[in-house]
Amino acid sequence: MKKLLVGLTVSLSLAGFAHAAGDAKAGEAKAAVCAGCHGVNGVAMIPNYPSLAGQHESYLAKQIMEIRDGVRKVPEMTGMVTGFSDQDAQNVAAYFSAKPKNLGQSDPATLERGRELYRAGDMAKGIPACTACHSPNGMGNAQAKYPVLSGQNPAYTEAALKKFRDGARTNDPNKMMSAIAAKMSDKDIQAVSNYVFGLN
């Protein structure tokens, strides 16, 4: 009986996981509304907007739903995802996740400081290494919903970190990013944002 219950629990968990997965083909039509800011293939040509291509489906779906539900405030997206169901969010996330991610090139001027912060942190300031959550190659952690940073527009990353630091964005798990960004200067934020842009 115990084995049967364990088997049913595993089966139901897997079924739930399969149901939650998005359909990239179904997401293509819904993603058309995103193209103006995020690019047809998910690579944003406007520096202030995030590139979505190659981002984890789990992370993108979470962000879409939280923007829709008002948990994350993004004035530029007001009304854009209001009519999205959870499945629509998963489908659009699957569509962009399947696209090749952006390849950037870091500015040499702040490269060393950015590398230092990303790889080792700054113990004197209490800033942990970014690699702990976002991995050494900047590919994040899909299961934990930690985003891919590799190739992300530096202007967007910089703005996001400042919003975490200033309390304008609060949808980070356990306020981790808020606590870390609070210890970062504008120069630190600029340096690490530049570094991850070229982290390919």
Q: How many Å from the N-terminal Cα to the C-terminal Cα in the chain? A: 50
Q: Any residues with CB less than 8 A from the CB of 94 and at least 6 apart, and which?
A: 21, 22, 23, 24, 27, 57
**Boundary of a domain, candidates 97, 116, 148:** 97
Both structure tokens of 24: 């990239």
Assess whether 87 and 162 both reside in one domain.
Answer: no
Instruction: State pLDDT tens for residues 42-75.
Output: 999 999 999 999 999 999 999 999 999 999 999 9
The boundaries of the domain holding residue 57 are 22-97
Which residues are documented as binding site for heme c? Answer: 34, 37-38, 77, 130, 133-134, 177
| pLDDT tens track for 98-148 | 999 999 999 999 999 999 999 999 999 999 999 999 999 999 999 999 999
> What is the helix (H) or strand (E) element at residue 54, kind and residue range?
none
130 with 187, same domain: the answer is yes
pLDDT > 90 in the chain, percent: 88
C-alpha Rg value of the chain to the nearest Å: 18
Q: 189: domain CATH number?
A: 1.10.760.10
pLDDT digits (tens, 9 = 90+) for 14-44: 434 444 689 999 999 999 999 999 999 999 9
* 138 within a domain of the structure (yes/no): yes
Examine the domain organization and report whether 129 and 188 are in the same domain. Answer: yes
pTM greater than 0.85 (yes/no): yes
Q: Give the annotated binding-site residues.
A: 34, 37-38, 77, 130, 133-134, 177
Give the chain's domain count: 2
The predicted pLDDT at position 17 comes to 40
